[in-house]
A and B are shown apart, each in its own frame.
Chain A
Amino acid sequence: MSTADNVTYLESGRAAKDYWRDFWRHRELLMFLIWRDIIVRYKQTVVGTSWVLVRPFLTMLVFTFVFGKVANLASGNVPYSLVVFTGLLPWFFFANALSDCSGSLIGNSHLISKIYFPRLIVPVGSVSVSVVDFLITFVLLFLVMVWHRFMPSWHIVFIPVFILLAIVVAFGLGLWTAALNVRYRDFRHLIPFVLQLGVYVSPVGYSSQILPAKWRLLYSLNPMTAVIEGFRWSILGGEFVIYWPGLLVSSVMGITLVLTGVWYFRKTESTFADVI
């Protein structure tokens, strides 16, 4: 399909020469969908937006207690709650982004079956909402650091790199699962399960330093490992060092997921309305 001089041609499998221009033309719709999702989510709740903060905060308390006190895992000279929190922050973003994104097309099926727009807007919007939440939780991180009178190292300037990596990984997986979910509803059951296990498989409640070195590379095949390690390195510094092969694996994996995800999404996009 293409539009030139206000003439629209519709044909089977017509290559979308200006798909991205079309996407850009619908940017206002993208903004409106993000705005809708943000304001609708906490309507009719008492504490409203604070839910974004309450959930990670309570999880942090529980994890600090379980891993730091009960299991008595080491955290060096850094408060254990900060170790947990620097892991929880990207993990919460990843979990929310992935689960929202994978269900985003189905959740908007009433739009998809009734109106045309580049379908990519839906998962992009859904991840953007999670990014907004993610940035809000940094306020909480700041408060926890103030509470512990903890001064981050100069590495903190690299935090945007790891935020970006987290977004890339979540978006890449989200694109794949969103498109697959339209046809195979299995993902609706699979994703919550994966995320439930993932919180223990990823170094959220503990530091990956405690793992034997020979397992390190295998462990890094989970792309979120490098993201969490990167967060700890940028914020806590000190003994939390970056495992470079892991970071490389994660970056390559994230970028590959996004590129193939966009490819698969666009390949199946034209049939969404028929199948959904």
Chain B
Amino acid sequence: MSIAIHVENLSKSYSIAHQRANREESLRVAIERSVRSIGARMLGRNGKQIALPPGEANESREDFYALNNISFEVKSGERVGIIGANGAGKSTLLKILSRITEPSHGRITIRGRVSSLLEVGTGFHPELTGRENIYLNGAILGMPRSEIRKKFDEIVAFSEVERFLDTPVKHYSSGMYVRLAFSVSAHLDPEVLILDEVLAVGDARFQRKCMNKMRRFSEEGRTVLFVSHSAPAISQFCSSAIFLEKGQIKRKGPAQEVVEEYMLQSTTGIEESGPELVGKCLLEEPAGDDHVQIEAIELLSPDFGGAGTVPINEPVSIRLAFRVLKRSDHVFVPNLHIRTIDGMYVTVVTPSSSDVRPLDAGDYTADCVVPANLLNNGTFTVQAAITSFNHGQTVHANVPNALTFEVVDDLSDTTYRNGYMQAIPGVVRPRLEWHIGASA
């Protein structure tokens, strides 16, 4: 298999002091300095230093390496992901590969026609209509006019904005705008495609459509270089990956392995300044209507120190304390909404129908036991609510973000690890039943 992209000892340095000076540098300062340096050279021959005003004299140029001696190869037809935290040098690498800026050292060889998409809709003009922007954007991305004309109908169909083709794009919704912009890009015909996180646009359905388009694209034997800090996107889409850290390659190899290492690093980083854990939530003002009010939500984990920390291999109870104000025929159903710290729903849990009934006025508690080894290690939030469904659906009380707790795996129980001691991805980590035996 031939090599599509060959990067040898690539470095890119910015001189920080210089850069900062440039931004604010006025012409006067620049002229003054150059006159002074000419003067210094004429007067202070033989290396004698001329005193410069303080501040300027010690304005040393500190070189900052955005990329430091990077080498890698991409075979043609490969889908390679580049992953790394902010400031790792991903964007710089992309900019160099797409010829927007020059490398400081090193050399890159790219075989084949290159298209790079650092942004969706580069050069879109808000005053122009959708039709006009397709042509303009196509030209900016390097498509000949004849080719745009040939693919025009296809582009329009893909974007799903047929009806608004002759409306200026400034009147488009942001979704329409992005769809149209992506559609033009998706109909490029390069041999090497360089992509920034442009896939992270549009609604979920359109994103899937784009992903599929890109996958087909590489199945046609074209090379894709995809930069993202989204680990799932890289592990789904790419065959191999490169993990950049502080301008250097930390690891390269099969996408799954590289992404795992990246995840491990990024989660260890979070621990230092993680979210505040809340193991007990006593409401000063009870939340609820004139039927029922929530008074407190708390985590019952007696054997474990640290508020809001739960060992993965211990069951944990969540207690909801509430007060019924008057007897009615509403059947109060306490419910807990468990989410990951990123806001993704894990589940909503309620008691069984046989456990709920109309209650007399008074104070009550509802305990919910989350079994051991259900949630994976990570941080979760709990929203508590009381709802009744027998007179239409009524939410009587609701406490969002009542608890924040962390499930930790201290590796004291390694029965299901088989010697693998690193992070295990996922939201849940149940211990499922397995049957292993010789096949008949």
The reply to whether A115 and B27 contact each other, CB–CB distance below 8 Å, is no
For residue A97, give the distance in angstroms from its CB to the closest CB of chain B. 21
For residue A207, give the distance in angstroms from its CB to the closest CB of chain B. 35
Complex: chain A residue closest to B122, CB-CB = A114
Annotate B36-68 by CB proximity to A: 1 below 8 A, 0 otherwise: 000000000000000000000000000000000
The reply to whether A28 and B145 contact each other, CB–CB distance below 8 Å, is yes
Report B-chain residues with C-beta under 8 Å of the C-beta of A117: 140
Given contacts A6-B111, A8-B109, A184-B25, contact A13 B122 (CB under 8 A): no
CA distance A123 to B102 in the complex (A): 21
Does A186 interact with chain B (Cβ within 8 Å)? Answer: yes
Complex: chain A residue closest to B118, CB-CB = A114
CA distance A116 to B108 in the complex (A): 16
CA distance A29 to B123 in the complex (A): 11
Complex: chain B residue closest to A115, CB-CB = B122
CA distance A13 to B28 in the complex (A): 28
Complex: chain B residue closest to A190, CB-CB = B27
CA distance A273 to B94 in the complex (A): 13
Complex: chain A residue closest to B126, CB-CB = A40
Q: Which of B105, B106, B113, B132 contacts A6 (CB 8 A)?
A: B113
Does B14 interact with chain A (Cβ within 8 Å)? Answer: yes
Residues 14-38 (chain A) with a chain B CB within 8 angstroms: 14, 28-29, 31-32, 36
Q: Which of B102, B111, B144 contacts A12 (CB 8 A)?
A: B102
Given contacts A111-B140, A113-B100, A273-B95, contact A12 B105 (CB under 8 A): yes
**What total count of A-B pairs have CB within 8 Å?**
108
Does B114 interact with chain A (Cβ within 8 Å)? Answer: yes
Q: Which of B108, B136, B144, B191 contacts A10 (CB 8 A)?
A: B108
Annotate A1-14 by CB proximity to B: 1 below 8 A, 0 otherwise: 10000111111111
Interface size on B, residues (CB 8 A): 47
Q: Which of B14, B118, B191 contacts A115 (CB 8 A)?
A: B118
CA distance A270 to B12 in the complex (A): 13
Report A-chain residues with C-beta under 8 Å of the C-beta of B254: none
Report A-chain residues with C-beta under 8 Å of the C-beta of B105: 12
Residues 93-112 (chain B) with a chain A CB within 8 angstroms: 95-112
Report B-chain residues with C-beta under 8 Å of the C-beta of A9: 107-110
The reply to whether A40 and B26 contact each other, CB–CB distance below 8 Å, is no
Given contacts A115-B141, A184-B26, contact A11 B106 (CB under 8 A): yes
The reply to whether A11 and B107 contact each other, CB–CB distance below 8 Å, is yes
Complex: chain B residue closest to A29, CB-CB = B139
The reply to whether A274 and B14 contact each other, CB–CB distance below 8 Å, is yes
The reply to whether A183 and B99 contact each other, CB–CB distance below 8 Å, is no
Does A71 interact with chain B (Cβ within 8 Å)? Answer: no
For residue A164, give the distance in angstroms from its CB to the closest CB of chain B. 28
For residue A25, give the distance in angstroms from its CB to the closest CB of chain B. 9
CA distance A8 to B223 in the complex (A): 15
The reply to whether A36 and B136 contact each other, CB–CB distance below 8 Å, is yes
Does B289 interact with chain A (Cβ within 8 Å)? Answer: no
Q: Which of A8, A12, A111, A112 contacts B104 (CB 8 A)?
A: A12
The reply to whether A40 and B128 contact each other, CB–CB distance below 8 Å, is yes
The reply to whether A36 and B100 contact each other, CB–CB distance below 8 Å, is no
Does A275 interact with chain B (Cβ within 8 Å)? Answer: yes
Report A-chain residues with C-beta under 8 Å of the C-beta of B104: 12
Does A44 interact with chain B (Cβ within 8 Å)? Answer: yes
The reply to whether B100 and A115 contact each other, CB–CB distance below 8 Å, is yes
Q: Which of B113, B122, B132 contacts A110 (CB 8 A)?
A: B122
The reply to whether A273 and B100 contact each other, CB–CB distance below 8 Å, is yes
CA distance A242 to B128 in the complex (A): 46
CA distance A126 to B191 in the complex (A): 32
Given contacts A1-B99, A115-B122, A274-B101, contact A28 B107 (CB under 8 A): no
Given contacts A13-B102, A40-B127, contact A8 B139 (CB under 8 A): no
A-B contact pairs, 18 of them (CB 8 A): A6-B111, A9-B110, A13-B102, A28-B145, A29-B140, A32-B136, A32-B140, A36-B125, A36-B136, A39-B132, A115-B116, A116-B98, A116-B100, A116-B116, A184-B25, A270-B101, A270-B102, A273-B101
Known: A11-B106, A116-B98. 7 other contacts (CB 8 A): A8-B114, A11-B107, A29-B140, A115-B140, A180-B27, A186-B26, A186-B27
